[in-house]
Each structure stands twice: as C-alpha cells, then as structure tokens.
Amino acid sequence: MPNSTASCIQRLASILAGLMLGVVFIGSGGAQSQGPVLNSPHAPSPGDARSVKFNEQTLTFVYSGREGSLNCWSVKSSNGNAGRDCRTVEGNLVSRQGAVWIPIEFRPHLGMFAFPMFVGKQWEHSYTSQNGVEGTRNVTRKASVVSYEKLTVAAGTFDVFKIQATISWWGGNLQDAAGSASGMLGANQWGGAARQQTYYYSEKVGLVKFDGGFERLELLTSSVQ
C-alpha cells in the first residue's frame, strides 16, 4: 500500500477515535489538535487577585504567599466575611478557614488537578475531609480530561481543559446541615453517595469554572492576563 494512502487511513482512524471520545473539535478551519500537554500548573505571584461568583456570593481572592509547601490566599466575600484558602502547588485545595464558608480540611488534598495535563489523562485520588460536626469522610475522586476547548466566562475567553469527575464518599455524618449544603444529604454513615463534577482549567489563570451540582463557581475578574 502506498505510504500516502496508509497515512491517510491512519489519520482518519485517529480522527474517528477522537470523535468517539469527544476530544477532537471541528471548527471553521477543519479538524483541530487535541490540545497541548501542560506539564506544570499556573503559579501565582504575590499580589495576584481574582474574583469569582461562588453560588450566590462574590468572593475576592488575593494571593498572600507560601506557607510551607502551600499557596495561600486571603478571601473576602460580598457580605463582608473574611477567610483563608490554602492549596498545593498544583492548585488542589487543602483547607478553607474563616467565616466566608464552612471551614473544611482535606488530607492530603482535594485532588481536582493532576499534572502533566492533557486530553485523555485519567487519575484516581483518595482523601479524607473534615468538616465541623460532620466527622471524617473518606472520599475517592475519579477524574479525566475530556477535551481542550475555548470557554467564555465573565472574565473573558480562555483555552481550557475540561475535566469531568465522579466523587464517592462514605463515613461521617452525612445528614447534618453542612452536608446538605454541600449536596451530600440523603446518604448516611453506613452507606455512601456519589456526585458528578465538571470543571475547566486554564494554563493562564487556573480554575475558570466549576459545576458540582450544589456548588458552582465562575471566574469574574483576574489580575493575570
């Protein structure tokens, strides 16, 4: 078989496989690439600021610097409350403190992001959460990067990795008010529950949008261009 014909068949097979996975995009210019490989996360600098719509609140984050191995942010809400948010260098949440939200800790971390990041990347991460009177929950996150696309939010248009995840958990008191606010009501300490999440990550600014069913976030402004 001539090399040109073999190459054409191989390319067609690749496109068909990508379409089945939902990772190849057809635009005005024809078939596009599946996106880059992002080897490292967005790294904040002192003074970086961003505001987000988190459920019904507007939150403003200002990067305050490193605390040990964590990147920490001071947070103020539109209702005047203040708090702190600390994450790993990959952007995975470790703790939230203060009156902005219900204080919570994740050990070792939330596991939303894993690098390098590329379309088709999959990972599984187990952790525990400690949230007030809820006790300790055991959680497993199964996530995959399903596409690389453009996304427009209030802060602008970004090239983003779209990540879909399923989290399941067991243990703790899953019937208290805090559990209900997090979309965990209905399970109990002898059973488990599961929830779907979709979120979008930009190389330039980090997390752009999140939809966890009961929790939603959208980037409104960013000092990083």
In the prediction, which pLDDT does 175 show?
56
| pLDDT tens digits in sequence order for the chain, 225 residues long | 444 444 444 444 444 434 333 333 333 222 335 899 999 998 999 889 999 999 989 999 999 999 999 999 999 999 999 999 999 999 999 999 999 988 999 999 999 999 999 999 999 999 999 987 778 889 999 999 999 999 999 999 999 999 999 999 888 765 544 444 444 444 443 345 688 999 999 999 999 999 988 889 999 999 987
CA distance 20 to 38: 23
The pair of three-digit structure tokens given for residue 7, joined into one six-digit string: 């190459």
Residue with tokens 């399903």: 146
Which pLDDT does position 22 carry in this prediction?
A: 38
**pTM of the predicted model, to two decimals?**
0.79
Rounded CA separation 52/154 (Å): 9
CA proximity to 104, closest of 198, 41, 164, 172: 172
For the domain made up of 28-219, the CATH class stated in words is: mainly beta
Could you tell me the residue ranges of all domains in the chain? 28-219
